[in-house]
Amino acid sequence: MPRPATAPPAILRVIAVDPSLRCTGYAILDKLGGKMRAVEYGVIKNAPKLLPSACLVAIHTRLAELIQKHEPHCAAVEGIIFVQSHRIAITMGAARGAAILAMATRGLPVYEYAPRRVKQAAVGTGTAAKTQVAFMVRARLGLTETPSPDAADALAIGLAHFQAHETASHGAAVLQQV
């Protein structure tokens, strides 16, 4: 007697973003069961002479291209961090807004994760240094090179999302949409 057909396992694909006006880290990650892999990652670099408004357009445009190319199911972004300068907070908020707009206008649910939670998901402690995050992201995803700090942060945001998604699938409400 033939076996009933079973649906193929579902792959969860996320675009993760570490927003910044000049160096926005991004990552596309897949998770199938317990196996995670980086599909693409990098940094959207904006020249120092580029006007802030042009930087926001560049962030939005590049993320829209990545979403169209990779068709992620959802998006993850780093939450608001405490900064001592109002000017820096406003600039970071604008970059974050451009990223969220690119993701939300394409219908993606957008989740946010606190920086401490991102570090904890990647390294095991919320006080890890950027070099530790990059090293652990490389090890956990089996990368052949250590990613730049901004790309490593985006990869770590993706890992935090996978961890939260797994916890939520067991009944805990840990996903926070923007």
Distance in angstroms (rounded) separating the CA atoms of residues 24 and 87: 18
Position of tokens 């590049």? Answer: 62
Q: How far apart are CA 91 and CA 151, in angstroms?
A: 19
Which of 112, 43, 40, 107 lies closest to 73, judged by CA? 107
63 neighbors 99 (Cβ within 8 angstroms):
yes
Residues serving a catalytic function are 18, 78, 150
Which pair of tokens denotes residue 52?
A: 């802030």
Q: What is the DSSP string of 109-162?
A: -EEEE-HHHHHHHHHSSTT--HHHHHHHHHHHHT-SSPPPHHHHHHHHHHHHHH
Distance CA 21, CA 93 (A): 9
User: Cα 89 from chain centroid?
Assistant: 19
